[in-house]
Amino acid sequence: MEHVFYIGLSYGVTGVILCLLTANTLSAFFSFRKQIDDEFKPEDSANSP
């Protein structure tokens, strides 16, 4: 039974670290993409005929 604890904890910790990395990456990506859209969209629409 002891091995289940170590295996579970290993996979759990790995999952948490990878999920945190993914969440950090995605939140930064969408946040900056929104800022780019907000800042460059008005110009783009003004330039288009």
Partner 1 sequence: MLTYANPNRFMQLARRLTRPVWGLSLACLIIGLYMAFSAPADYQQGMTVRIMFIHVPAAWMSLFVYTFLTVSSIFGLVFRHPLGHVAAKSAALIGAGFTLITLITGALWGKPMWGTWWVWDARLTSVLVLFFIYLGYLFIWKAIEDPLQAGRVSSVLAIVGFVNVPIVKFSVDWWNTLHQPASVSRFDAPALHSDYLWPLLVMALGFQLLFFALWLLRMQTEIFKQKLRVRRLGLVETSNGTAS
DSSP E strands, 1-49? none
3-state secondary structure of 48: coil
Per-residue tokens: 26: 């995605």
Tokens 């008005």 label which residue? 42
Contact set for partner 1, span 14-43 (CB under 8 A): 14, 17-18, 20-22, 24-26, 28-29, 32-33, 35-36, 39-40
**Interacting residue with partner 1 among 4, 46, 47, 49 (CB under 8 A):** 4
What letter does residue 49 receive in the DSSP assignment? -
Give me the residues that bind partner 1 (CB under 8 A), please: 2-4, 6-7, 9-11, 13-14, 17-18, 20-22, 24-26, 28-29, 32-33, 35-36, 39-40
